[in-house]
Amino acid sequence: MRVIAVEEHMATEAFLGVAHGLDVVPGDETEIGLMRTVETAPAFRARLVDLDARLKEMDALGQDMAVLSLNPPGVQPYPAADAVPLAREFNDALAAIVRRHPGRFSGLATVAPQDPVAAAAEIERAMGPLGLNGIMINSHTGGRYLDEPEFAPLLAAAEAHRAPIYLHPRAPSMLDAYRDYGMPGAIWGFQAEAGLHAMRLILSGTLDRYPELTVVLGHLGEGIPYWLRRIDNRHAFAARTAGAATPMPRLSLTPSEYFRRNFVITTSGIDDPDVLGLALSAVGADKIMFAIDFPYEDPAAAVAFLREVPLTDDQRTALGHRTAERVFAIT
């Protein structure tokens, strides 16, 4: 069976050397301080930057391909003036890595949502001349979310250039982010940051404006597939009863219909047959991709899970490679 893993983080020594010397925007100091500590640890740093060792590990496990992405939180904690050129430099390096290893690595570009116009231009460059396969955004940027109007150029470019957005978690923003679209309570307010971001895209009507957008969520959907029935039910109730204090944009579809239409999920970090069974029932095998979440999870355990979990041959093929090939245009 062909095996493609799609949430596989890396960095370059050049990127880390520059990024670790940059100032950080207010509010992100704690998160970036932790990540710099992790990235400085010799063993962990080697896992990020040594791609020859990674290829040997992939060969030993029978993993055919990794879709590489910059270690989170990418360039988003830095001022735009620093983040924009740093993203371009990293994407150039990533594209060169992919070209050196055809059939073994694909890549998700990084962009700087701090400057949505520059991010849109970088999406066009990544999906065009660089030949990359999508983009990764590490949830909020300075406490701002992609449903907000300022990010329209970024979303329009992602849709126009058929760039899937892998919406990766990062440390949560403040509570204010949960106040819009009726989300403080049971609809989704108790859930985690990446789920919050996905729900903002759904409940804001953003996916009516960008109906061809593809969003990828790791960790088997950040909890959303298992709440879909309740989300639909509570959204319908809130839409009927909401007053001026709780604006609820009118949607063309139910929340679950947007989720099944616009979202694809990955197995990253959840090697649990029962949870996978729930995901298969909720969205189907053609909406699920295999991922390891390298270097944060055990690649051997993840690949063994994919090979051994009770699935039909068609389901295993879809998870192992077919869905990733379709979503990320991997040939």
Note the pTM of the prediction, 2 decimals. Answer: 0.93
- Label residue 188 by pLDDT band (50, 70, 90): very low
Q: List the structure tokens of 259.
A: 């989720």
Predicted pLDDT of residue 244? 54
Q: What whole-number percentage of the chain has pLDDT above 70?
A: 93
34: which strand partners? none
Catalytic site positions? 293
- CATH of residue 110's domain is 3.20.20.140
Amino acid identity of residue 7, one-letter, is: E
Q: What are phi and psi of 87, to 5 degrees?
A: -65, -45
Under DSSP, is residue 186 helix (H, G, I), strand (E, B) or coil? coil
Predicted pLDDT of residue 183? 46
Task: Summarize pLDDT for 265-317 with one digit per residue, the tens.
Answer: 999 999 999 999 999 999 999 999 999 999 999 999 999 999 999 999 999 99
Q: Which are the contacts of 117, defined by CB distance < 8 A and separation ≥ 6?
A: 153
**Residue 320, H or E segment:** none
105: which strand partners? 66
Whole domain around residue 45: which residue ranges? 4-327
Residue 180 has pLDDT above 90, yes or no: no
Domain count, the chain: 1
Question: Among candidates 172, 162, 197, 218, which has minimal Cα distance to 8?
Answer: 218
Question: Among candidates 30, 72, 32, which has minimal Cα distance to 48?
Answer: 72
Residue 174 has pLDDT above 70, yes or no: no
CB 167 within 8 A of CB 194: yes
